[in-house]
Structure 1
Amino acid sequence: MNTEGQILRLMKRKIYITPLLFGLFLVSSLSYSQEQNTAEEDNASVYLEDYSDEFQEKFFEALKQKGIENYDKAIHLFLDCKKLDPETKAVDHELAKVYRETKQLDLAQDYAINAVNSDPENIWYLQNLVTILNLKQSGISEVASRIPSEDINLKQNLALVYYQMENYQSAIQVLNTLKNSAFTENLNSKLKMGLKEQEENTETFSFSTTVNSDSTTNETGTIDHYRYNIENIIRAKNFLILDTVAKEALENYPAQPYFYYARGLALNTKKRYREAASILEESLDYMLDDISLANKIYKELSTAYTGLNNSVKANIYLRKIRPGF
């Protein structure tokens, strides 16, 4: 959904996405990418054929305002839509996303839960809820009593969401609660491959850091240790390892913007642009006066939004880069 015209075309035909069929497609496709994921998310959430002209006008304008980061205006318009039709699940989903962008995570969580309850089989609504919970450093168990957590389709979607986020252990835990089927066998196979790759990356990283560490940076687990190793990994262009190490560094030091930059860089190289944009924008909350690092973050943000076909935001961040640093 890149233009208002595309949205209008979507209104003229019914779009149905069966989560189970989508899931089987996901686990059988080696090349399924994040940008396809996000495009499907937007398409699946805007079937508005039965709504009034006033509702549609406000909804489209809200999407436009969200796209140019005018979040207060977007929230106001989405809330107007909510007044016009309180039961519209797409509005709850969009409000959850906008509140997530503005770091109002409690509100984001509430609207995300509303969206999931209105359509428990919608994988995009569940994905958004899990993303918000991750930002709150929480888990699905915290809201299990507020959603139909025992629904089979929801469980299958949850396993897929965890797989997509490379949270393989959580995906396995969910699969262990499901009966054996073609779905569980296919996803289990994918998860084993993912775990093997993670283990290989960890082993390679451990060997590399043992060989390359010097006396000033070899105290494992310090900020300097992580930064030294990440810089070496970036120079070596080993982006698979970079993602693993940067993620670990962020878990230990969540206020270090350099680690957000490193994770965003890794995600961009894997074409996981939506995740990259979210991580990189979060880093801006911790930036002080490091212009060189800010330039790197803005460059990666421009790359992420270019990958998401959002030229407006890509250019916004490109113009923020200050030459000479």
Structure 2
Amino acid sequence: MKVTYRIARLMVVLFIVPSIAIAQVDFNKRPDDDLGNVEDEFQEHFFEALKQKGIENYERAVEALHKCLNLDSKKPIIYFELGKNYNKLKNFGAAEDNLKKAISMQPDNEWFLDELYDVYFQQDDIDNAIKTIKQLVKYHPDYKEDLAALYVREKRYKQALDLLDELDEELGVSEARDAMRNDIYSITGNVDDRIENLEQRIANNPNNEENHLKLIYRYSQTGDKKKAFEAAKNLLKVKPDSKFVHLALYKFHLQDNNVEEAIKSVKIALSTPEINADAKAKVLKDFVAFVSKNPEYESDLVDITALVDNNKNAQTHSDLGQYYLKSGDKVKALANFKEALKQDPNDFKLIKDVLLLQLDLEDYKAVVKDSEEALELYPAQPMLYLVNGVANNKQGNYEQAIDGLEMGLDFLIDNPKMEADFYSELSLAYKGLNNIGKSETFAKKAQAIKTQQ
């Protein structure tokens, strides 16, 4: 794993190397003898090598560089360029030899060391990569991040954490280093160290809300709800205007049966613009689940849902729909399912919920219309043909019912209960058309299936 910084620095070398080469060869020098021709020839081969490397013709670049060596073998830049080209050709032995030669001539050249590090890294030669990057650390502290990543690969977790601590102290915390630190804690399962690190950060900077929130989350993860609650209350003392803390507080208040305080926290969380819709949906879902067990707080649920009327996502509407369905309010359930379906029109479960509720509420015209639209999305779903047939039967559209039901039977596989429902509806349709023979035939088929079940 290599840090972005290193990639950026390698890009810089593309612009610097030509100038290094030029600086080592005075192309403006007036030739007094045959040396002038040698310098012209060297220049020609060297820039040919750069050109070939630029078009990724690395073998031709190597040929040109060897011609440069024949003219002058004392320039480290030639070995450096040979090392880079061999590296691209995956000829790592030759790359290492040439880069080591360049480094022996210029031991403090960062670019030479960096390329050698890349050679070792590509071969997964972590021991040599670590030795090389330790030399690079003195040029820029960000190389320590690469070194920490190598320590992780070698399972030298304490050394990696020590380096991350050094970097945090020198440069401040960063998301990338925090991610690496959390990976280490997850690998080692060292929960105490993770929490201790957060506690130390809070001690060093009590006003950093993010660290408080992370500590609450980590305590919650370990199942230590008491300490998580204490951490949340501590954040509220430090930052009384904190909004994000209420994403945790409402849960703790509900667990303590402190419903009034829980409702206050829920309302703050749901009315805070900075809190994203997914987090709000989770809060509302939890409160819906609470109210389903404690219906005396339904009026509070109504007030709370009003806070997010313009910000409810499909899942929130679906959860509310399920709540109202369980509580027996089919009209409100249907309204919420429809709102959810507007936001997620291809959700088959929502389509099914809406159609079945419309049947229950005897809105047969809507069932016919909506099931026909749904069949354009899901033409092989027998359930859609069945509800369409039921709705057409209820409206006396018997021929349309028969057409849809017979088509739906073609898609029905291993579902005896639904098959019996199809036959029952076909029996009703044919009875409506006064075709008593067919009506009785389908009625018998339906009964035979029901008897077997």
State the structure with bigger RCO (CA 8 A, min sep 6), 1 or 2.
Answer: 1
Task: Return the structure number with greater helix share.
Answer: 2
TM-score (normalizing by structure 2): 0.26
Larger radius of gyration: 2
TM-score (normalizing by structure 1): 0.35
